[in-house]
Amino acid sequence: MSELFDLFKQDGYKFGACSVRVYDRKNIDLYPDDFLLQLYRAMKSSGTLDITFCGMTDLSANSICAYLSTRSPLLLMFADDTVIGLSFPAFWIGSKDKDSERSMIMGYTSFRQAYRTPELVVCMMLTGIYYFNEFDLLSISGQRFAFNRLSPRFLAQFGVRDTGYIPDFLMHNGKLVDCYLSNLSRADFERYVTLTMLECVKGEK
């Protein structure tokens, strides 16, 4: 399967009009000085700040922009040349050693204009391909609030499964609430990508 993922890498992690690209603060032609602030405002207007950064108590522009500036990588989702969402590693598990196994906890968000669009589905697929391929991950995990019901429904199509919860683990509105956990295994995601590509081939005949 790494061969299929490598094909996406050779094409710059693109599929049709969709792509994922790593944010590069040094590239001021593409990403001006206030770019992170633009992302913050897009998340705020979409109403996704608290569910994207679940558990964080300071959701101010300064705090979120500072946090995003430390994410490596900060991966942007594009439909044509428009940013429709982003993702980032919240935590890495394992080491960077060549023979070490690795996984990650990922945070992600999409902007309002991308809701329920096929472009968002493609960008999320490219996001998974990028992380699994670039970092040779065994799995990608996520965490969420109980009231965030849309995210697990959306992610289930890629093979994401709920794995349980941790009681009283995330801070929300000054109170500790339960943290719900999910996981995407490499095997399940490879199966999804394979079937998706086969459907695309069938559709072209």
The pLDDT-based confidence of 3 (bands split at 50, 70, 90) is confident
Number of domains in the chain: 1
| Confidence at residue 97, expressed as pLDDT on a 0 to 100 scale | 82
| Higher pLDDT among residues 150 and 2, named by residue | 150
For the chain, what percent of residues have pLDDT higher than 70?
A: 98
Q: What pLDDT score does 100 carry? A: 86
Identify the pLDDT of residue 1. Answer: 52
Task: Confirm if 35 and 92 have CB atoms less than 8 A apart.
Answer: no
If you average pLDDT over residues 127-137, what whole number do you get?
97
- 99: pLDDT strictly greater than 90: no
pLDDT confidence of residue 12:
97
Q: What is the pLDDT of residues 31-61, one digit of tens each?
A: 999 999 999 999 999 999 999 999 999 999 9
Mean pLDDT of the chain: 95
pLDDT band (50, 70, 90) for residue 2: confident
Q: Which residues contact 65 (CB under 8 A, 6 or more apart)?
A: 36, 37, 40
Cβ pair 192, 158 in contact under 8 A: yes
User: Does this model's pTM top 0.75?
Assistant: yes
Segments forming the whole domain that contains residue 29: 2-204
97-101 average pLDDT score: 84
How confident is the model over 118-135, as a mean pLDDT? 97
Task: Return left, alpha or beta for 154; rule: phi > 0 is left, psi -120 to 50 is alpha, else beta.
Answer: alpha
Residue 185: which CATH number? Answer: 3.40.630.30
Q: What span, in angstroms and rounded, lies between the C-alpha atoms of 124 and 130?
A: 10
